[in-house]
Chain A
Amino acid sequence: MNTISEKYRPETFDDLIIRKDILLQIKNWLDSWKDGIPAKRALLLWGSPGTGKTTTAITVARESGVPIIEMNSSDQRNAESMKRVALMASIYSDLFNDHKGDTKGFQRIILIDEADNIFEGRNSGTGGDFGGLSELSKIIAATHNPIIITLNDFYSFRRKNAGRDIINRSLVLEFKQYTRRGDLDYKTFRNKLTDRIREIASNEHLEFSSERIDELIQKNGQDIRSIINDIVSVLPYSDDKVLSLGASRRDAPVSIYNTISDTFKDRTYEKILIDLWNKDFTTEDYLMWIDQNLPYEADEADDLYKAYDILSVSDMFVGRVMKKQHYAFKGFAEEISAGISSKIEKPNKSYVKYEFPSYIMRMAALRETRETRKSLFLKLSTLMHTGSDKVNDNLWYFSYMTRNRNFLESAEKLLMLSEKEMAMLKTERKLH
C-alpha cells in the first residue's frame, strides 16, 4: 500500500472523512456485538477507490482496542489460506488481546481487503484463489469476530455465487461522500477535506492557497487517497512556494459505470471522450454496456430506434477493425457511440441502476453446454472414424439408438460418457 496515505491515516472515528449516516450504521453494528453475535456477522463496504473503506476498517479496530487480522490482495487467498488465517481468526481468541473483561463481545477485527480481487479460477489446477470466496462465506456464517470486507465493484461481485452468499450474510454499505455536488453531504465533505488538506500540507511544510485546494478537490472527486498523493507529489518542488499542481496531473482510470453514466446523463461529448481515454475496459465492453442499458435511458420508441442505429454502425466498425486487425481504429467506434445520446430527444431523467450486459452472462452459462457438446462429439467421432461435423449431422441417429438398452449401456462404457454428455446424447432426439 501507499506509505504516504498510511502516514496520514485517521486515528479516531472523528477524524474519518465519511458520511455521518454511514458512520452511525457502523457504530450501531459494532455496539450490537455486546448483546451477542448479531444476525449479520460481516460488514461489506463498497465504493470507488480512495473513499475510506480500508481506513474505516482499521479505525474500527483501533477504536475498539482490538488487533486487526488483514488479508489483502498481496496475500494468497485460496480456500486453504482462508482456513489457515481467516477461519482461525474467526473462532479463536487473540493472543495479543489482554484477556481481562471482554465487554465488546469480540476479540479482533478480520479485514478482507479488496475482495473483488479474489480470483477464483475454474478449478484448483488453474491456481489463483480457488475456493477462497466460498470458504469466506462459510467463515462468515460461523464467526465469533466481526469481519469487514471491502470492494470496489459490487455488481460484478454479486454475480458470483459465493459473492451473493457473502452479500446476503453481510451488512452492506455503499461508501459515497455525497450524491451530487451541492447537497449537504458535499458541503460537509468539502469542509472536512479542506481542513485535512491544510493539516497535511502544514505538516509537510507546504502552503496551499484556497484555489489550489479547490482545484485538488475538483480534480479528484471523492478519491481522498489521490488527493493526499497529489499533495505529496509536489514535495520535490517544494523549494518554490508557489506550487504548480499542473506538474502533477495523474490520470485515474475511469470505471465503466462512470463512463456509461456520463454517456447518458452528463452528455458532454468532450467529457465522455476523456472518460474513454482513461478507461480500464475494452471498446467491446463499452458497446455491450450501452446495448444493455439503452432501453432504460430512452423511453420513446423513435429515440431508441435512432440510438440503436448509431450503436449498430459503431459495432460494424469494431467488427471490421477486428477483422483487419487495425486495432488502433477502435477509437473511431468509441467516438461514434460516445455521441449516442444526441439521438435521444427525450432522455430518462431519473436514476438508472446500470446493468451488466446479459449477453456476457448468457455466454458464460452456455459455455458449459458448448464444452459438453464438444467433448461428446470428440468421443463419438473417434469411435466412428469421422469428423465431428459428420457426428453433428448424424447425432439424431445416435440419439435414436439410445432407446436400445444394449446400445446405451455399451456406449456409456465404451465412451466413458459423463452424466452431462449422456443427458445430451439422450435428449438430442427430441429435435427430430
Chain B
Amino acid sequence: MSTTRMTISIKNLKEIADLLNTVVNEAKFKLDANGLSVKAVDPAHVAMISIDVPKEVFLDFQVDGEEEISMDIEKLKSIIKLANSNDTVTMIREKEKLKFEINNIIKSVSLLDNNTVFTPRVPQISSESYVVVAKPELEKGLKAAEDVSDSIRFMLSPDDFRARSISDSEESELILTKELLKEIKCSNPVKSSYPLEYLLKLIKSLSSSEDLKLGFKDDYPLTIEFKFGIPRSGDATIISGSFLLAPRMEQ
C-alpha cells in the first residue's frame, strides 16, 4: 500500500479550516480519486457546511482508493499558524498520525478515531428563488445588523433583495435593488429569518470568495453556495462549498 500524500497552498488550507471551524471543532475528511471532501453539522442541527476540493487544487495528490481522516480543527489551525501565507504544506499519512511538512518544520499529530466523528447526510433542500450577491455588499448588511438582533430576515422580491434586523430599540436594513445584484431569480416574494452569528462567521472565514448565491423560500432552510481558493497558476479550478442554515421558527 502506497502512502497518502497531499500538497496544498497554506492559504487554501487555512480557508478550509476556518470555514469548518464556524460550525464544528472536529471534522472527518474523505479522500478519493476526485479529491478531498468534508461535511459537518453543528450540535444543534442549525448550520451545515460541505466543501469539495478537487484534486487539481492540490500541487500533489496521491491517494489510493478511499480514505477517511478525522482531525481536531483547532489543532490544524495551530499548525497552519507556523507557516507564512505563501508557503505550501505537504501532509503525509503515517498510520494513526498525519505528518505536516512546512518549509523546514516537520510536525506530526495524531488523528481522531473515525468512528467518533459524525458525518451528516446532506438533507434534500431546494429553492426556486435565488439571488447572487457580491460578498462585500452582504457583509456590510450583516455588520449593520450585528448588535441589533440575533437573527436576520432575508426578503426576496422580483425587484430587490433585503436583509433586515429588528429589535425593540434598533433596526437595520440592507436593500439591494435589481441593478446592484449579479443575478436574481424570483417570481413571488419570499422571506425567512436566519441566525446572524453563523452568517457573520461564514463571511469572515470566506476570505477569497467574491460572489455568494443565496437560495431560500418562506420559512425554509437557506442555501449559500460559494467558490473560493487560490487557483494554481493558469489553472482555473477552485474549491466549491455550500452552507445550509435552518430558518427561525415563527409563531
Residues of chain A touching chain B, judged by Cβ–Cβ distance below 8 Å, are: 36-37, 67, 69, 84-86, 88-89, 91-96, 98-99, 107-108, 144-145
Give bound CA distance, A362 to B184, whole Å. 67
Give bound CA distance, A257 to B86, whole Å. 66
Q: A69-B44, A96-B123, A108-B45 are in contact. Are A91 and B249 (CB under 8 A)?
A: yes
Q: Would you call A96 and B249 a contact (CB within 8 A)? A: no
Residues of A within 8 A of B195 (CB): 88, 92
Q: Would you call A89 and B46 a contact (CB within 8 A)? A: yes
Nearest-CB distance from A297 to chain B (Å)?
47
Q: Which of B48, B246, B251 contacts A92 (CB 8 A)?
A: B246
Q: A95-B123, A96-B123 are in contact. Are A37 and B251 (CB under 8 A)?
A: yes
Give bound CA distance, A89 to B120, whole Å. 17
Residues of A within 8 A of B211 (CB): none
Q: Would you call B48 and A144 a contact (CB within 8 A)? A: no
Residues of A within 8 A of B43 (CB): 69, 84-85
Nearest-CB distance from A407 to chain B (Å)?
43
Contact with A along B40-64 (1 / 0, CB 8 A): 0111111110000000000000000
Q: Would you call A69 and B220 a contact (CB within 8 A)? A: no
Give bound CA distance, A84 to B220, whole Å. 21
Nearest-CB distance from B76 to chain A (Å)?
20
Q: Would you call A95 and B41 a contact (CB within 8 A)? A: yes
Q: Which of A84, A86, A93 contacts B246 (CB 8 A)?
A: A93
Give bound CA distance, A37 to B48, whole Å. 27
Is B77 interfacial (CB-CB < 8 Å)? no
Residues of B within 8 A of A91 (CB): 151, 248-249
Give bound CA distance, A108 to B46, whole Å. 11
Main secondary structure, interface of A, reads loop
Nearest-CB distance from B46 to chain A (Å)?
5
Give bound CA distance, A85 to B43, whole Å. 6
Residues of A within 8 A of B42 (CB): 84-85, 88
Is B215 interfacial (CB-CB < 8 Å)? no
Residues of A within 8 A of B229 (CB): none
Nearest-CB distance from B218 to chain A (Å)?
10
Give bound CA distance, A372 to B219, whole Å. 53
Is B244 interfacial (CB-CB < 8 Å)? yes
Q: Would you call A95 and B249 a contact (CB within 8 A)? A: no
Is B141 interfacial (CB-CB < 8 Å)? no
Q: Which of B48, B120, B247, B251 contacts A93 (CB 8 A)?
A: B247
Q: Which of A84, A85, A92, A98 contacts B249 (CB 8 A)?
A: A92
Residues of B within 8 A of A144 (CB): 249, 251
Give bound CA distance, A95 to B243, whole Å. 11
Residues of B within 8 A of A95 (CB): 41, 45-48, 120, 123, 125, 221, 244, 246
Q: Would you call A86 and B249 a contact (CB within 8 A)? A: no
Q: Count chain A CB atoms within 10 A of each CB in B48, B194, B248, B249 and give the residue with the most.
A: B249
Residues of A within 8 A of B194 (CB): 92
Residues of A within 8 A of B246 (CB): 92-95
